[in-house]
Structure 1
Amino acid sequence: MKLDKFITDEESPRLIERTREFAEHFFEREGTHGFSHVERVFNLCMHIGREEGADLEILALAAILHDVARPLESAGKVEDHAAEGARIARHYLRSLGYPEEKVEAVVHAIEAHRFSRDPKPRTLEAKILSDADKLDAMGAIGIARVFMYSGEHGRDIDASLEHFEEKILKLKDIMYTETARNMAEERHRFTVKFIERIRREIEGEI
């Protein structure tokens, strides 16, 4: 996370780096939703946020904290990592004396980042976080993550391809921001070409 590329306010980088250290402790292992995913979502958020005129500090904090409860959900300890992550983020940011209005802006973005569940994102920052999270499921990274997940859960190639059809190929049509829609188009094309190629290889055509 190269913060000076995105945020020039003197205090923000220190706050964000402290938050990064806090969030990283929740991730004991890598995987489909490891901390590397958080870092990619952060980078996507900063890119989209600059283009869309978002509050980069709120967006950065939301991006870093958005999946802190994902390991708890994976372990069956909580039902919804977005809701639990929002609770953790609220407690953490309040402990730092962060302004309450900004706390709630970060919390809302985390609560609303899952496209398949309510609440829907109301703010620009929440929409960008949702878009960035979806973008990381597309393109070359998205393909790698699908097969990482399949390896983690014993899913075969056919089941993986079904997942592309049922979820991944629909993501480009549910982006909120223009910047993300443009990025999604290229990632979608790449994914479609990959699926076409692997299906031909399965049939022995290449």
Structure 2
Amino acid sequence: MTQELGPLARELSVSYYEDALPAHDQFHARRVRDVALRLARECDAAVDEDVLAAAAWLHDIGRPRERVGDIDDHDAWGATRAVELLEAEGVAPEHAAAVEHCIRAHSIRSSSPTPETIEAELLFDADKLDAAGARGLVRLACIVGERSGRAGERYAVIDDPSASDAPAPDRPDITLLREWAAERLDRLHTQPARRLGESRRQFMDQFLDRFEREAGLDGEA
């Protein structure tokens, strides 16, 4: 292998994101890569940044297939496919295996293994941080749109489910944003990620408090 692992993984990943929706596209992968490397440089532990960058680029390559029902678990499928892609390019098996573990352990699903390496912890943390802060709020809204958009509507309904004839959710979508962000931030592994997460949590709390006031969700006009 003559090419660095991170750039190679980026090239290998691009075609898999062609049908991705905005919340899990190649730009999400790039943001996760950037934040993961930032966190790595703030860690006391030694980090293999090549493995980390490669795992970030490849971690969601299975998302488009999972979304349309072609596969059941994008973590497991993506991890296996990543190894196949990397080894076909001459990447050493130990490096491919390190990337594989990062991808398998990056999800908050109960079926996902616990991250057992610093690289896996950092990928997990960077992925979760992309659902926090100003940009994270936009991304979470995209995820809500993916899950609650109604057929025939151009936009998903965020704050007023009565605008659609579809059954109203159990609680306003704004509450889902709070809960999804908190669920992710509460599970961060590394100290640099927790510091960044706290800053982003504070911003989100302020923004969502104002959102609720403007939307009248807290009883105010």
In percent, how many aligned pairs have the same letter? 37
Secondary structure in structure 2 of the residue aligned to 1:180 = helix
- 1:149 Cα deviation after fit: 2.5
Task: Report the number of matched residues.
Answer: 195
What is the match of residue 116 of structure 1?
109
- Confirm or deny that 1:100 pairs with 2:93: yes
What is the match of residue 49 of structure 2?
56
Residues 10-47 of structure 1 show CA distances to partners (whole Å, capped at 9, x for unaligned) of: x66x4422321210111124411111100000001110
**Letter of the 1:138 counterpart:** A
Quick one: distance in 1 between partners of 2:182 and 2:26? 24
What is the match of residue 158 of structure 2?
157
Answer with 1 or 2: which has the greater Rg. 2
- Confirm or deny that 1:127 pairs with 2:117: no
Q: How does 1:8-27 map to 2 (within 5 A)?
A: 14-27=4-17
What is the match of residue 43 of structure 1?
34
Quick one: distance in 2 between partners of 1:141 and 1:27? 20
- 1:105 Cα deviation after fit: 0.7
What is the match of residue 3 of structure 1?
none
Secondary structure in structure 1 of the residue aligned to 2:23 = coil
Residues 126-161 of structure 1 show CA distances to partners (whole Å, capped at 9, x for unaligned) of: 000000000000011111012223334415324421
Quick one: distance in 2 between partners of 1:79 and 1:87? 13
Quick one: distance in 1 between partners of 2:51 and 2:75? 16
What is the match of residue 72 of structure 1?
65
Quick one: distance in 2 between partners of 1:21 and 1:98? 14
More helix by share: 1
* Match of residue 201, structure 1, among 210, 214, 220: 214
The answer as to whether partners of 1:172 and 1:181 remain within 8 angstroms in 2 is yes
Quick one: distance in 2 between partners of 1:45 and 1:193? 26
Quick one: distance in 2 between partners of 1:135 and 1:144? 13
**Consecutive unaligned residues in structure 1, runs of 5 or more:** 1-10
Quick one: distance in 2 between partners of 1:34 and 1:145? 11
**Letter of the 2:173 counterpart:** S
